[in-house]
């Protein structure tokens, strides 16, 4: 090879390896195996050794990333370093508990709950009170000896005090606090270096740096959670960690011993929220059987211990490609843009679509078809797009142009001033809207016709039997029976359900009409305020606004709805069919709660929440949806969230239980 060729080769190899490092550490998406990486690195090292004049000053041979590297001695684990079985569901936790109790043949097991810190597993060996070795998990059988690097972590105790065993192993997690991570990224950005994707990746990357002085600059931390020894002097896991703490070892914080699976659930519930206030990332809770004797009895499967399980919180982020944006038309005509994604695994399911909410959201994210996007699935079921990886945007990408016409019925879309959502106003003939209207009308909180589900609503519409709500009351048994896959029983149930719905109270009928902005509460207020449908249809905007809690937006929507002759005719038909269009004046049980706002939370022993709500209203009180400065009482039932209680305490709101409430109104 000629010298310019060698130089080019060194440059190309260096750049290629840098790119692999970036993919490995920053994107956490390596495209070659550790072994392939090592081969390339060795090739570069050999060339640089022969031609040091061409070596780059920031050559990847100087700061190395990768898996099991030669530079770190690979050492076998004394005991296999296993991972944990994990779950996202409380049901599976119940099954775990059942399995454990059954195998042990006992009724109640003591568990320890610990936060599951998102870092990388490490095993420390202490002999005669001295840290002698630190090994990464590697493949579980053997790992990298990273002792020198681990010694630079300030929270790793190198010299123990107190009454420690002569020789033991303790395992835990190395991680980085979010603050330290942000500081590090700011520094890197200022120096024009690439920034890291998340604290976990930096933590794991940092341990593989060959220069311990460099590692020392990284703000790493440790937590230790698993004591192991050939002569284990302790009877429980919690005792072993307490003792380790007394020797100066940094053990898991926030742990709790639980005497039942219910207490475990309480711990999960608390930390699912509280974890956001911690300065570091936790992705779940590890639940361990506390007794070492029980642990031994339960043993291991081929891969994981039977005495522990990880419960993962419902959030996970993944990257995917935005293949396209489609649009959904909702029951109210609201248009929702939907991201069509390259399928990606998230929380154990395959995600292909995510909501983009509205045109503003698309603009805010500046998301374009073809982009690499970050997808997140949190507590809510529908995944969302939380960001765009701009570094991967194609040069020829163009901003997304929002549709102007309804994808279902082609009428022109409208967006009212100050509103984020576009609407299709063709509410009567746009199929999803018309079907949605039927679904809403028969829904549990409206006419509660349980014999008509969404599929049946769609069939009735598609077959032309129900095009508007009043048509429901003209349905005949024979018509329903003539539908595909409908038997006599189904047909009979359906007709009976429709008939029974005629006795639903006026506010439900009003709510069922599906007038924009008229929810359950508003329907109640309107029914109570004006008494019957004729008064409501005749009311002007001003008259409507005069009613408690009715604003301009609702009033306008009401007037607009009833200005349509078709709607008025529909009402007349339903009246003729015998539906109730007059409100029953609510009986008042006094005004003991007049002027008071009460918030209800939790589950009650004697009454349902709806009943308590009704009692409050019957006594002249108001029911608030969340605890605020205006709340007078928080009626607290079982399973009330700790954050609500805390807020109420902070704001000085009176917290009362069901019995106190009942005495108050009696």
Question: Judged by CB under 6 A, which stretch of 45-53, 88-96, 109-117, 521-529 contacts ligand IVH?
Answer: 109-117
Helix boundaries (H) for 22-89 = 34-50
End-to-end C-alpha distance for the chain, whole angstroms: 99
Round to whole Å and give the CA distance between 384 and 361: 11
Residue nearest to ligand IVH (CB): 121
Round to whole Å and give the CA distance between 178 and 154: 17
Question: Judged by CB under 6 A, which stretch of 305-313, 445-453, 604-612, 657-665 contacts ligand IVH?
Answer: 305-313
Enclosing H/E stretch for 645:
helix 642-651
Least distance CB 364 / ligand IVH (angstroms): 35
Round to whole Å and give the CA distance between 457 and 446: 15
Lay out the site mask for ligand IVH across 460-499 (x = CB under 6 A, - = otherwise). Answer: ----------------------------------------
- Return the closest-CA partner of residue 655 out of 642, 665, 663, 645: 645
Lay out the site mask for ligand IVH across 256-295 (x = CB under 6 A, - = otherwise). Answer: ------------------------------x---------
| The binder of ligand IVH chosen from 93, 252, 367, 526 (CB under 6 A) | 252
Largest pairwise CA distance in the chain:
100
Lay out the site mask for ligand IVH across 60-99 (x = CB under 6 A, - = otherwise). Answer: ----------------------xxx-x-------------
Which residue, 255 or 421, is less far from ligand IVH as judged by CB?
255
Q: Which two tokens stand for residue 246?
A: 């007394």
Least distance CB 375 / ligand IVH (angstroms): 22
Least distance CB 306 / ligand IVH (angstroms): 10
Q: Which two tokens stand for residue 591?
A: 């005004």
Round to whole Å and give the CA distance between 356 and 328: 11
Least distance CB 286 / ligand IVH (angstroms): 4
By CB under 6 A, the residues from 121 to 150 that bind ligand IVH are: 121
In this structure, the dihedral spanned by the alpha carbons of residues 487, 491, 493 and 498, taken in order and rounded to 10 degrees, is 160
Q: Is 316 in the site for ligand IVH (CB under 6 A)?
A: no
Round to whole Å and give the CA distance between 393 and 369: 10
Least distance CB 118 / ligand IVH (angstroms): 7
Q: Which residue in the list 9, 73, 102, 116 is annotated as catalytic?
A: 116
Which residue, 104 or 369, is less far from ligand IVH as judged by CB?
104
Round to whole Å and give the CA distance between 232 and 214: 37
**What are the angstrom distances between the C-alpha of 203 and each of 67, 122, 175?**
14, 11, 5
Least distance CB 305 / ligand IVH (angstroms): 5
Which residue, 44 or 308, is less far from ligand IVH as judged by CB?
308
| The binder of ligand IVH chosen from 146, 209, 310, 527 (CB under 6 A) | 310
Enclosing H/E stretch for 387:
strand 384-388
DSSP SS3 for 290: coil
Q: Is 114 in the site for ligand IVH (CB under 6 A)?
A: yes
DSSP SS3 for 15: helix
Round to whole Å and give the CA distance between 544 and 345: 50
Round to whole Å and give the CA distance between 452 and 480: 11
Q: Which two tokens stand for residue 204?
A: 């794991």
| The binder of ligand IVH chosen from 111, 181, 225, 423 (CB under 6 A) | 225
Least distance CB 200 / ligand IVH (angstroms): 11
Residue 166 in contact with residue 128, Cβ under 8 Å? yes
Enclosing H/E stretch for 294:
helix 292-298
Q: Is 173 in the site for ligand IVH (CB under 6 A)?
A: yes
Round to whole Å and give the CA distance between 620 and 640: 25
Which residue, 17 or 207, is less far from ligand IVH as judged by CB?
207
Q: Are strands 256-258 and 282-289 parallel, antiparallel or unpaired?
A: unpaired
Which residue, 245 or 502, is less far from ligand IVH as judged by CB?
245
Least distance CB 28 / ligand IVH (angstroms): 16
Which residue, 282 or 459, is less far from ligand IVH as judged by CB?
282
Residue 340 in contact with residue 281, Cβ under 8 Å? no
116 is an active site residue: yes
Which residue, 119 or 624, is less far from ligand IVH as judged by CB?
119
- Binding-site size for ligand IVH (CB under 6 A) equals 16
Round to whole Å and give the CA distance between 154 and 217: 11
**What are the angstrom distances between the C-alpha of 65 and each of 20, 27, 48, 412, 612?**
9, 13, 18, 56, 62
**What are the angstrom distances between the C-alpha of 138 and each of 118, 142, 289, 437?**
16, 6, 26, 58
Q: Is 224 in the site for ligand IVH (CB under 6 A)?
A: no
Question: Judged by CB under 6 A, which stretch of 33-41, 114-122, 260-268, 355-363 contacts ligand IVH?
Answer: 114-122
The one-character DSSP state at 23 is I
| The binder of ligand IVH chosen from 20, 200, 218, 226 (CB under 6 A) | 226
Question: Judged by CB under 6 A, which stretch of 113-121, 190-198, 234-242, 555-563 contacts ligand IVH?
Answer: 113-121
DSSP SS3 for 362: helix
The torsion angles phi and psi of 305, rounded to 5 degrees, stand at -70, 150
Which residue, 116 or 437, is less far from ligand IVH as judged by CB?
116
Least distance CB 138 / ligand IVH (angstroms): 12
Least distance CB 89 / ligand IVH (angstroms): 16
Least distance CB 326 / ligand IVH (angstroms): 36
Question: Judged by CB under 6 A, which stretch of 69-77, 111-119, 390-398, 638-646 contacts ligand IVH?
Answer: 111-119
Q: Is 588 in the site for ligand IVH (CB under 6 A)?
A: no
Least distance CB 109 / ligand IVH (angstroms): 17
Round to whole Å and give the CA distance between 271 and 252: 14
Which residue, 223 or 421, is less far from ligand IVH as judged by CB?
223
Which residue, 81 or 612, is less far from ligand IVH as judged by CB?
81
| The binder of ligand IVH chosen from 109, 134, 308, 574 (CB under 6 A) | 308
By CB under 6 A, the residues from 194 to 223 that bind ligand IVH are: none
User: Scanning the structure block, which residue is given the tokens 């605020």?
Assistant: 628
By CB under 6 A, the residues from 404 to 423 that bind ligand IVH are: none
Round to whole Å and give the CA distance between 145 and 338: 48
| The binder of ligand IVH chosen from 116, 275, 619, 644 (CB under 6 A) | 116
The burial of 629, by beta-carbon neighbours within 10 Å (0-12 exposed, 13-18 middle, 19 or more buried), is given as exposed
Binding site for ligand IVH (CB under 6 A): 82-84, 86, 114, 116-117, 121, 173, 225-226, 252, 286, 305, 308, 310
Residues acting as catalytic residues = 116
């Amino acid at each position: 090879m000629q010298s310019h060729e060698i130089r080019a080769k060194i440059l190309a190899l260096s750049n290629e390896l840098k790119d692999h490092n970036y993919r490995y550490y920053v994107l956490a998406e390596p495209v070659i195996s550790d072994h392939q990486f090592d081969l390339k690195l060795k090739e570069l090292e050999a060339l640089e050794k022969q031609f040091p004049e061409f070596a780059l000053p920031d050559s990847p041979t100087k700061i190395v990333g990768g898996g099991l590297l030669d530079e770190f001695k690979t050492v076998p684990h004394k005991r296999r370093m296993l991972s944990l079985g994990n779950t996202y569901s409380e049901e599976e936790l119940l099954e775990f508990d059942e399995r454990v109790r059954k195998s042990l043949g006992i009724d109640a097991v003591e568990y320890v709950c610990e936060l599951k810190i998102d870092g990388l597993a490490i095993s420390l060996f202490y002999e005669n009170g001295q840290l002698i070795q630190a090994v990464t998990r590697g493949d579980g059988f053997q790992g990298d000896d990273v002792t020198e690097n681990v010694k630079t972590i300030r929270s790793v105790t190198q010299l123990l005090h107190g009454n420690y065993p002569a020789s033991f192993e303790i395992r835990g997690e190395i991680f980085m606090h979010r603050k330290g991570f942000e500081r590090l990224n700011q520094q890197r950005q200022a120096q024009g270096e690439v920034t890291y994707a998340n604290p976990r990746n930096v933590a794991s990357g940092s341990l593989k740096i060959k220069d311990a002085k460099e590692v020392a600059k990284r703000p790493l931390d440790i937590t230790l959670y698993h004591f192991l020894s050939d002569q284990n002097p302790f009877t429980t896991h919690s005792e072993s960690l307490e003792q380790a703490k007394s020797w100066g070892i940094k053990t898991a914080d926030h742990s709790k011993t639980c005497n039942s699976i219910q207490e475990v659930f309480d711990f999960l519930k608390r930390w699912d929220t509280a974890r956001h206030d911690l300065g570091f990332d936790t992705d779940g809770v590890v639940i361990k059987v506390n007794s070492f004797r029980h642990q031994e009895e339960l043993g291991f499967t081929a891969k994981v211990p039977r005495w522990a399980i990880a419960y993962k919180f419902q959030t996970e982020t993944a990257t995917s490609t935005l293949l396209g944006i489609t649009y959904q038309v909702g029951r109210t005509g609201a248009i929702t843009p939907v991201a069509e994604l390259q399928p990606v695994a998230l929380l154990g399911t395959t995600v292909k679509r995510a909501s983009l909410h509205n045109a503003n959201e698309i603009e805010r994210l500046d998301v374009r078809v073809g982009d690499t996007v970050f997808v997140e699935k949190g507590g809510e079921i529908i995944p969302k797009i939380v960001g765009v990886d701009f570094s991967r945007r194609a040069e020829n990408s163009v901003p997304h142009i929002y549709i102007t016409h309804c994808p279902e019925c082609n009428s022109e879309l409208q967006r009212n001033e100050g509103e984020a959502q576009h609407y299709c106003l063709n509410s009567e003939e746009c199929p999803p809207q018309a079907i949605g209207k039927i679904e809403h009308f028969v829904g549990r909180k409206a006419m509660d016709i349980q014999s008509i589900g969404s599929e049946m609503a769609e069939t009735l519409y598609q077959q032309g039997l129900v095009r508007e709500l009043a048509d429901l009351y003209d349905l005949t048994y024979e018509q329903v029976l003539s539908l595909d896959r409908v038997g006599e029983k189904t047909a009979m149930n359906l007709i009976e359900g429709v008939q029974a719905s005629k006795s639903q109270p006026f506010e439900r009928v009003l709510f069922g009409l599906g007038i924009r902005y008229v929810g359950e509460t508003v329907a109640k207020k309107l029914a109570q305020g004006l008494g019957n449908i004729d008064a409501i249809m005749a009311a002007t905007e001003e008259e409507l606004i005069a009613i408690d809690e009715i604003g301009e937006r609702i009033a306008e929507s009401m007037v607009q709805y009833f200005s349509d002759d078709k709607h008025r005719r529909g009402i007349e038909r339903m009246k003729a069919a015998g539906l109730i269009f007059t409100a029953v004046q609510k009986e008042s049980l006094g005004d003991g709660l007049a002027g008071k706002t009460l918030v209800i939370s939790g589950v009650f022993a004697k009454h349902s929440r709806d009943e308590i709500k009704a009692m409050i209203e019957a006594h002249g009180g108001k029911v608030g949806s969340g605890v605020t400065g205006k709340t007078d009482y928080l009626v607290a039932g079982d399973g009330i969230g700790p954050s609500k209680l805390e807020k109420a305490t902070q704001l000085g709101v009176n917290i009362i239980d069901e019995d106190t409430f009942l005495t108050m109104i009696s």
